[in-house]
Amino acid sequence: MPAVEIKPDMYWVGVNDRTTDLFEGLWPISREGVSYNSFVIKDEKTAIIDLAKAMKTDDFFGQIADITSLRDIDYCVINHVEPDHTGVLRILKEMAPDMTIVCTEKAAGLLEAYYGVHDNMKIVGDGDTLSLGKRTLQFFSTPFVHWPETMMTFEPSDGVLFSCDGFGGYGALQGTIFDDECQDQAFYERESLRYFVNIVAKFRVSVRKAIQKLADVDVRMIAPSHGLIWRAHPERIIELYQEWCDYPGTPGDLAVTLIYGSMYGNTERFMNAVAQGIAGEGLDVEIFDAARTHSSYMLPYLWTRRGVVVGAPTYEGALFPPVWEVIREARIKGVKNRQLAMFGSYGWTGGALRDLVKIVEPVKWNLVDSLEIKGGANSESIAQAAAFGRRFAVTLKEG
Ligand SMILES: Cc1cc2nc3c(=O)[nH]c(=O)nc-3n(C[C@H](O)[C@H](O)[C@H](O)COP(=O)(O)O)c2cc1C
Ligand SMILES: [Fe+2]
Ligand SMILES: [Fe+2]
């Protein structure tokens, strides 16, 4: 995608990644893609802010070369050392040997560790500024949004915040980079939530601190390093991130995530009856087969919805493994205070429920109800499952 001027003499350059199948080697993005946004500011001094993953380097450097000679780059601001923003740093350094890298002290240590880069460095701390001529850059230390070295860079005259991972999202850019030109903002909001839960939710306290720190800053455009540039409504993505940070302390939205697994279809039969019971009480229930769905897609529902219904057979004395995995992942990410119900089929002495209770105990999921059934479904057990679903929905609505 050709460079885009976002403000006079300030440009988006970046890589639109539609070929990586797993972000961080873990989270599926083959359908959605992701962008690595980088920015060039031309002034008496030329600066580039954040880079890209080491891919499509000809395109990336070609975009920059349309704006400025690579040799003329004076400063490279590294907000965050993760390789999705620094992969091309060594190549760029070869091409711009006089360039000074601007970063936090912690980032300098990481750049040495990952790339052996240590010369031409300018270390900046919270509140420091760097004059480019007409424009000045200001740096805000925002540790753990997403790594310990992370900072954000602010350009006060146009109010542009280069927030790196903060306020970012999955989703390759679809012909425009701006919120107000985008015809499907819902896609980016959905993918920002999935990105938030997958990548930064673990650091939500730090994200909240960063948002507080920015409260008095006159931000008029949010330019993250993944996803849309929010220029019409920068407050929209800040509000969303704030809301998402706050979920673990709230009861969650009045709706249900139903996560199930089944080897031979018995638990699945109960699942359909349970879902009928819940839906019959007017609650939305999102159903996932844990063995066939990546946790990346289930976690946003677990993050935001009040009710969790787990359907799992007993497997080797424990919870059916794919269900165990997603619940454990939710616990690690910090999904808290959920209302939980569990059902499933077992063969001899069971154990799935006991295992689930142990997993969620530290994160205060409240077990409201359970229904473990020996063997297969019959009309009586199906009726029990439907009643179980209805009871859970009623409890949620009352609570
Ligand atoms: C590999 C395997 C391990 C199992 N381990 C246990 C177990 O430890 N305890 C138990 O009560 N049932 C165990 N079962 C029996 C299942 O829980 C039982 O067949 C159940 O009805 C399966 O439900 P599903 O049709 O939803 O897969 C096991 C079944 C399989 C295939
Ligand atoms: Fe990151
Ligand atoms: Fe990133």
Q: Is 382 exposed, middle or buried (0-12, 13-18, 19+ CB in 10 A)?
A: middle
List all residues whose CB is within 6 A of at least one atom of ligand 1.
262-267, 313-317, 345-351
The H or E element containing residue 161 is strand 160-164
In DSSP notation, 50-108 reads ----SSSHHHHHHHHHTTS-GGGEEEEE-S--SHHHHTTHHHHHHH-TTPEEEE-HHHH
Residue 399 predicted with pLDDT over 90: no
Q: How confident is the model at residue 284 (pLDDT cuts 50, 70, 90)?
A: very high
Q: Which sequence spans correspond to the domains of the chain? A: 4-248, 252-398
CA of 264 to the centre of ligand 1 (A): 9
The H or E element containing residue 339 is strand 339-346
From CA 312, how far away is CA 263, in angstroms rounded? 9
CA of 348 to the centre of ligand 3 (A): 48
**SS3 assignment, position 307:** strand
Any idea which of 244-248, 360-364, 365-369 has the lowest mean pLDDT?
Answer: 360-364
Task: State which CATH number among 3.10.180.10, 3.40.140.10, 3.30.1300.10, 3.40.50.360 fits the domain covering 252-398.
Answer: 3.40.50.360
Q: CB neighbours of 54 closer than 8 A, spacing ≥ 6? A: 83, 87, 88, 91
CA of 351 to the centre of ligand 1 (A): 10
**SS3 assignment, position 194:** helix
> Among residues of the chain, what percentage have pLDDT more than 70?
100
From CA 30, how far away is CA 171, in angstroms rounded? 10
pLDDT at position 359, please? Answer: 95
Phi, psi of 162 (to 5 degrees): -90, 100
Per-residue pLDDT tens over the stretch 329-354: 999 999 999 999 999 999 999 999 99
The answer to whether 81 and 110 have CB atoms below 8 angstroms apart is yes
Atom 15 (ligand 1) nearest CA: 347
CA of 97 to the centre of ligand 3 (A): 25
Q: How confident is the model at residue 85 (pLDDT cuts 50, 70, 90)?
A: very high
What is the number of the ligand closest to the CA of 375? Answer: 1
* Pocket test residue of 316, 319, 353, 372 for ligand 1, highest count of atoms within 8 A of CB: 316
**SS3 assignment, position 46:** strand
**SS3 assignment, position 159:** coil
CA of 395 to the centre of ligand 3 (A): 40
* Pocket test residue of 266, 315, 320, 353 for ligand 1, highest count of atoms within 8 A of CB: 315
Token pair 């919805």 is at which residue?
Answer: 305
CA of 84 to the centre of ligand 3 (A): 5
CA of 175 to the centre of ligand 1 (A): 50
Q: CB neighbours of 25 closer than 8 A, spacing ≥ 6? A: none
Q: How confident is the model at residue 1 (pLDDT cuts 50, 70, 90)?
A: confident
Q: How far is residue 40 from each of residues 68, 141, 192, 197, measured CA to CA in Å?
A: 9, 21, 24, 29
Residue 123 predicted with pLDDT over 90: yes
Residue 221 predicted with pLDDT over 90: yes
What is the number of the ligand closest to the CA of 262? Answer: 1
Q: CB neighbours of 354 closer than 8 A, spacing ≥ 6? A: none
What is the number of the ligand closest to the CA of 23? Answer: 3
CA of 247 to the centre of ligand 3 (A): 22
What is the number of the ligand closest to the CA of 53? Answer: 3
* Pocket test residue of 260, 263, 269, 320 for ligand 1, highest count of atoms within 8 A of CB: 263
Centre a 10 Å sphere on the Cβ of residue 324 and count the other Cβ atoms it contains: 20
Domain 4-248 has CATH 3.60.15.10: yes
Asked if the domains at 4-248 and 252-398 fall in one CATH topology, the answer is no
Mean pLDDT of the region 25-36: 98
**What's the one-letter identity of residue 193?**
L
pLDDT at position 192, please? Answer: 98
What is the number of the ligand closest to the CA of 14? Answer: 3
Per-residue pLDDT tens over the stretch 139-177: 999 999 999 999 999 999 999 999 999 999 999 999 999
The encoded tokens of residue 213 equal 């720190």
pLDDT at position 43, please? Answer: 98
* Pocket test residue of 272, 320, 348 for ligand 1, highest count of atoms within 8 A of CB: 348
Centre a 10 Å sphere on the Cβ of residue 270 and count the other Cβ atoms it contains: 28
The answer to whether 360 and 331 have CB atoms below 8 angstroms apart is yes
Atom 12 (ligand 1) nearest CA: 347
The answer to whether 192 and 304 have CB atoms below 8 angstroms apart is no
